[in-house]
Amino acid sequence: MKEEKVLINGLKINYKIAGEGPAILVLHGWGGSSDSWIKVINVLAQKGYKVICPDLPGFGKSVTPPSAWSLDDYLKWLVSFINYQKLNNFFILAHSFGGRITVKFATVYPERVKKIILCASSGVKPKPGLKTRIIFLISKIGNMLFSPKPLLRFKDGARNIFYVFLRNRDYVKANGTMKETIKKVLTEDLFPELDKIENKTLLIWGEKDKIVPLSYGYIFNKRIKNSELKVLPKVGHSPHLEVPEKLAEISLNFYKN
């Protein structure tokens, strides 16, 4: 396995590459990096595939964008990275936030991809229940309460507490530009895009996923016409860390058949 750096759209990007054969592009989730996929990459590479896994802009050893990015900005960057790698007719294995980017890519460039695996993919907004509506009402009131200058310095801390209640740890952990980026990314609901995906798609979900619950997997499965759902018992949001060999095995079987 090699680790290389390249300038893509003005940003220095770090990526790992291993193996020879049909290409698999691995896209990690929010807060992740190529380092967290080493075990999966090694198995796939040993089975006769060329595996490429970039640290997405703002993560791992890649440079953070100078301003907050939207999902479309990540899509433009991904297209440039794919063009640099001269990838066509390749496979995608994407996790969580990487799945969100993949959904956008597949709806615009379906002809460039053979098959897609979405692992615990984010991108769909649930209809807010009573509890969520109450929390957002409280947030609006809090926004007004902390707007006066004497209280303004407490606003970010209060917002972090609010996101903890929503179990959005990614927002709390993000800093600076990436905090604004995740706010931009989360505003886009990809539910209307799912039925536009034409590629054969495998959905892999952990039964115990608390970050993107299994109920979302069923939504993806219902909306993506040519898809199947594989549920991993007793597994949470990160199969690539919890059961890397199993994830690699399932992926290989899907790509071969």
Contacts within 8 Å (CB) and 24+ apart, 158-166: 162/135, 162/138, 165/135, 166/132, 166/135
> How far is the CA of 113 from the CAs of 91, 93, 158, 199, 256, in angstroms?
6, 11, 43, 7, 14
Q: What pLDDT, in 10s, does the model give residues 35-47?
A: 999 999 999 999 9
73-77, 109-113, 145-149, range with the lowest pLDDT:
145-149
Q: Give pLDDT, residue 176.
A: 79
CATH of domain 2-125+189-256: 3.40.50.1820
Task: Count the Cβ atoms, other than its own, within 10 Å of residue 191.
Answer: 14
Distance of CA 136 to the CA centre of its chain: 25
Distance in angstroms (rounded) separating the CA atoms of residues 218 and 48 = 32
Q: What pLDDT, in 10s, does the model give residues 132-162?
A: 445 445 545 545 554 555 544 544 544 444 4
Single pTM value for the model? 0.84
160-169, 203-212, 217-226, range with the lowest pLDDT:
160-169
Q: Give pLDDT, residue 257.
A: 83
Query: Can you give the residue ranges of every domain in the chain?
Result: 2-125+189-256, 130-183
Q: Give pLDDT, residue 170.
A: 47
Q: Give pLDDT, residue 127.
A: 59
Q: Give pLDDT, residue 255.
A: 97
Query: Which residue intervals of 5-129 are DSSP H helices?
Result: 38-46, 71-85, 97-108
Q: Give pLDDT, residue 144.
A: 58
pLDDT band, residue 168 (cuts 50/70/90): very low
Mean pLDDT across the chain = 87
Query: Which residue would you say has higher pLDDT here, 133 or 195?
Result: 195
| pLDDT mean over 107-132 | 84
CB 90 within 8 Å of CB 114 = yes
Query: Which residue would you say has higher pLDDT here, 175 or 251?
Result: 251
Buried b (16+ CB within 10 A) or exposed e, 86-109: ebeebbbbbbbbbbbbbbbbbbee
Q: Is the dihedral angle over the CA atoms 159, 192, 92, 214 positive or is it negative?
A: positive
Distance in angstroms (rounded) separating the CA atoms of residues 85 and 93 = 16
Q: Give pLDDT, residue 150.
A: 54
Q: Is the dihedral angle over the CA atoms 47, 80, 193, 171 positive or is it negative?
A: positive
Residue found under tokens 């896994």 = 53
Query: Which residue would you say has higher pLDDT here, 125 or 237?
Result: 237
